[in-house]
């Protein structure tokens, strides 16, 4: 939940903070976010390799969550200390540096955290349930992250309000990550005593199954983790499909989230409306998640996700063009409807990655959950990087200027398009890509029933 609080506060409000409070040029603001998110995406695979190769009695994943928590919280606070009223390029430099620091500490904590799911359970439906629980807690954290707009509206000095918010949220984020690390103590801690080395490795029991490749003499070979693994994994069709879906979808959700404060301020006339609408959206998502979870057990996840996103897009576009100042109630109703459909996207994509980890293990005999989740986080951050650059360029192209007392009709059109049409287009494309993903429940269960791993050495025997 702490991760969601800090993550969503940045995604929801940082772009608006840079343009409308710090008064940074929209393009420069988008470029700063692009650089920060791009770095975030690039260091996620590095963190995946480091995590998979780590040997620690704290656990390969847990050690980074435990000791990275406090720096992560501090880096969130730093973001909100960029001063207004100074040179534009100095503001841009400070914003970029702050985002780079935040991105680094985020990867240190979150890549190992996300890769714990396949360790905790090997059951197809149970993993979806775990993901569902994570999604519910994530939505609660998102609500708190979205409270930033409502929180600072009570301060005559918005900059002071943001710094107080940064202190509170940063502390909670650090504490929650430490709590998570303590809670999973023992999950990874299975000792493997190697015959040829007088050392003890601490890895998870489920990791052991994939990381130890057994030959005919039952000798153990520990899988090697390197950049070559990424090259091999990226040749898999289902990996490419899932990553393409994720990066395109992240562009859509990133634009939607970052454009909401602009829509609330300049279309609805009240910045605080965005927080209330967001809370309604998230609450409806949380309430409907059990139904989506039930549907994924009865029907193909790909088709269920297609229905969810098509319904979401069909509601979002009319809301973005028909809602205006004085129609706040209808905006809230629209947010509730959007949440009902978007809940599917909070659940289904994340439940597919653990299945892909196991599928790859049973095909190759090697298990690399951190590499898979590192790639997942990489393309997600790259999508968000592109979303910041696209939104900033889009607003700049429609002559958005935060220094003006009111925006031009062209700028208003740009805000409506960025809130409705752009996210809908990217999300629909993402889910169409997902329809080509071939690891269904039946295929997953068939391959995981086979305990013998087919390798080049044994595939021609008998």
Phi, psi of 147 (to 5 degrees): -70, -5
Buried b (16+ CB within 10 A) or exposed e, 24-58: bbbbbbbbbbbbbbbbbbebbbebbbbbbebebeb
Q: Is 89 exposed, middle or buried (0-12, 13-18, 19+ CB in 10 A)?
A: exposed
CB 444 within 8 A of CB 355: yes
Say what the pLDDT of residue 146 is. Answer: 58
* CA distances from residue 216 to 299, 308, 452, 457 in whole angstroms, order as listed: 40, 48, 11, 9
Between the alpha carbon of residue 415 and those of residues 3, 324, 422, the distances in Å are 28, 12, 10
For 66-71, which contacts have Cβ atoms below 8 Å and span 24 or more sequence positions? 66/177, 66/178, 66/181, 66/182, 68/105, 68/108, 68/109, 68/177, 69/109, 69/173, 69/174, 69/175, 69/177, 69/178, 69/181, 70/174, 70/178, 71/105, 71/108
Q: Which of 289, 309, 307 is nearest to 351 (CA)?
A: 289
393 neighbors 30 (Cβ within 8 angstroms): yes
Question: How confident is the chain (462 residues) per 10-residue block, as mean pLDDT?
Answer: 75 89 93 93 80 76 87 93 92 96 91 71 61 64 61 68 83 86 65 38 42 39 57 82 93 93 89 82 86 87 91 94 89 94 87 79 72 81 93 94 89 95 95 86 67 41 38
Query: What angle, 0 to 180 degrees and rounded to 10, lies between the N-to-C axes of helices 124-146 and 2-16?
Result: 50
User: Which H or E run contains 220?
Assistant: strand 220-222
In this predicted structure, what is the pLDDT of residue 173?
86
Query: What are the φ and ψ backbone dihedral angles of 461, each rounded to 5 degrees?
Result: -85, 155
Give SS3 for 27: helix
Domain ranges of the chain: 2-210+224-449
CA dist 105 and 42 (Å) reads 13
Smallest CA-to-CA distance from 19 within 295, 394, 444 is with 394
- Rounded Cα distance between 65 and 188, Å, is 13
Angle formed by the axes of helices 421-434 and 369-397, nearest 10°: 150
Quote the Cα angle for 349-355-358, to 5°: 150
Instruction: Report the candidate in 413, 160, 146 with the shortest Cα–Cα distance to residue 257.
Output: 146
Please tell me the predicted confidence (pLDDT) of residue 157: 75
Backbone torsion region of residue 85, taken as left when φ is above 0, otherwise alpha when ψ lies between -120 and 50, otherwise beta: left
Coil, helix or strand at residue 370: helix
Residue whose pair of structure tokens reads 């050495």 in the numeric block = 457
Contact between 79 and 166 (Cβ < 8 Å): yes
Q: What kind of architecture, by CATH, is found in domain 2-210+224-449?
A: Up-down Bundle (1.20)
């Amino acid at each position: 939940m702490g991760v969601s609080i800090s993550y969503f506060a940045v995604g929801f409000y940082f772009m608006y903070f840079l343009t409308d409070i710090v008064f940074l040029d929209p393009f420069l603001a988008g470029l700063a976010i692009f650089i920060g998110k791009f770095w975030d995406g690039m260091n996620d695979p590095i963190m995946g390799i480091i995590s998979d190769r780590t040997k620690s009695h704290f656990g390969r994943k847990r050690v980074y969550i435990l000791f990275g928590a406090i720096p992560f919280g501090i880096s969130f606070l730093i973001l909100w200390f960029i001063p207004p009223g100074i040179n534009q390029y100095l503001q841009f430099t400070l914003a970029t540096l702050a985002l780079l620091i935040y991105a680094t500490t985020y990867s240190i904590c979150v890549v190992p955290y996300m890769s714990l799911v396949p360790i905790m359970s090997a059951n197809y439906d149970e993993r979806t349930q775990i993901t569902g629980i994570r999604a519910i807690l994530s939505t609660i954290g998102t609500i708190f992250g979205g409270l930033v707009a409502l929180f600072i509206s009570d301060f005559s000095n918005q900059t002071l309000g943001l710094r107080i918010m940064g202190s509170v949220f940063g502390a909670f984020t650090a504490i929650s990550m430490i709590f998570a690390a303590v809670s999973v103590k023992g999950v990874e801690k299975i000792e493997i005593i190697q015959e040829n080395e007088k050392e003890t490795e601490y890895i998870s029991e489920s990791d052991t199954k994939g990381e130890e490749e057994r030959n005919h003499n039952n000798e153990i070979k520990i899988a090697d983790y390197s950049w070559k693994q990424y090259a091999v994994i990226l040749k898999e069709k289902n990996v490419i499909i899932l990553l393409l879906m994720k990066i395109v979808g992240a562009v859509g959700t990133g634009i939607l989230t970052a454009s909401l404060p602009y829509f609330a301020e300049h279309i609805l006339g009240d910045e605080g409306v965005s927080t209330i609408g967001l809370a309604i959206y998230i609450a409806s998502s949380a309430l409907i998640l059990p139904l989506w979870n039930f549907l994924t057990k009865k029907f193909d996840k790909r088709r269920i996700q297609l229905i969810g996103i098509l319904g979401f897009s069909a509601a979002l576009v009319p809301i973005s063009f028909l809602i205006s100042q004085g129609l706040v109630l209808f905006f809230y109703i629209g947010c509730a409807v959007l949440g009902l459909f978007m809940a599917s996207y909070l659940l289904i994509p994340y439940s597919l990655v653990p299945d892909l980890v196991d599928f790859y293990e049973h095909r190759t005999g090697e298990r690399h959950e951190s590499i898979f989740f590192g790639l997942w986080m990489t393309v997600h951050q790259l999508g968000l990087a592109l979303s910041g650059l696209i939104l900033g360029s889009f607003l700049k192209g429609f002559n958005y200027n935060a220094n003006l007392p009111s925006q031009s009709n062209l700028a208003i059109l740009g805000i409506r398009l960025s809130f409705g049409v752009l996210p809908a287009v990217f999300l629909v494309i993402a889910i169409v890509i997902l329809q080509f993903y071939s690891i269904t429940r039946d295929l997953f269960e068939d391959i995981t029933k086979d305990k013998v791993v087919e390798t080049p050495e044994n595939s021609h025997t008998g």
